[in-house]
Structure 1
């Protein structure tokens, strides 16, 4: 019998990013401990047969060192890039120069993340079904931010009355209305199963605070 397969959602690991520890009050003395604990929590949760949607901001710092952690994470990983990912369509380096230059740099950026261990990269928000509900998977919520003002407004999905599953806001909320934040800072450092997100949607729009770190 084939093993059960689960789909998970997560965001904003910020592997290798020293300042995120202070900014989000993550309980680590440095990036080495943070990276190791994020990988441990991931691999305690996800099996090699599972799929994980990573909704952006996977790695910063020394990118070659930070991205190397992706290959240590279990499951089939699909990236929807965020504003801190070098393969994000809105990255300044991918929006300057001739069309040929932009296409070349974009292909090279994609190849870098694919080589690190992602199976796919989706450049735009993805329409899918979570727990029987149609949702949009996006790095950005419809509105709200972790910096007190809405950044990257031109890259945000349009609110047409549906649900959005997102990252970007770190500790600002776990759920706000029809916005469900699957970032690690809202879920104790772990990816969250689609069944869990579907249960939140079943309960309807409401306000939920982040969970503590595992």
Structure 2
């Protein structure tokens, strides 16, 4: 089963200190934030599932840099499933190289991590789905959808764009209410969001 998420920002202390672009002041410590994301991720993702993580994995500033990368690797290894990473603006090429070099093999010979520098593409439910960190603009189209992150508490004002980040307001298009903080979105939930956002924009016309 496939899942989608973005902008986990593990270890990013500024997010919980307030006054930042995307505050997470519901947490008292960065450890509480990390633990909540891990718990809610693993509550719905099985080891055999695949999660597309669309960038901005972590901001760990421990020195030396290799120690920060090892810290990020340790946390990612706590998460269930194969993780397909799309490079975000806060993800260094060195980090992705480190993850690939320290890859573990999952069941059926699948690597824990796959990485893409720009994006990748899937097809499901008659949609052509482009997975990127930064939002893409298609213009008018019937079956192209862009799942992205990067803009946290904001939403692109086009029905073809869905922000699947863990802070995203587009999650409000889910008919069943909010997904627990940090939990990736299933394909069925993404389809519900596509339909909900299109219905919303059609009603505005």
- Pick the TM interval, shorter chain: 0.7 to 0.9
2:98 is aligned to 112
What's the offset of the Cα at 1:179? Answer: 0.7
Residues 66, 159 of structure 1: alpha-carbon distance in 2 compared, 3 angstrom cutoff: same
- The yes-or-no answer on 1:165 pairing with 2:160 is no
* Unpaired stretches in structure 2, ≥5 consecutive residues: 63-67, 105-111, 172-180
Query: Is 34-43 or 64-73 further displaced after alignment?
Result: 64-73
Aligned length: 168
Identify the residue that residue 73 of structure 1 maps to in structure 2: 79
Q: For residues 30 and 175 of structure 1, what CA distance do their matches in structure 2 show?
A: 33
RMSD: 2.3
What's the offset of the Cα at 1:129?
Answer: 1.3
Cα distance in 2 for partners of 1:204, 1:29 equals 33
Native 8 Å contact 1:7 1:51 kept in 2:
yes
8 Å Cα contact 1:128/1:135 also seen in 2: yes
Name the counterpart of 1:83.
89
Q: Could you state the TM-score of these two structures normalised by the residue count of structure 1?
A: 0.70
In structure 2, the CA distance between the partners of 1:81 and 1:14, relative to structure 1 (3 Å rule), is: same
Question: Unaligned stretches of 5+ in structure 1?
Answer: 1-5, 88-107, 143-157, 209-214
Question: TM-score of the superposition, structure 2-length normalised?
Answer: 0.73
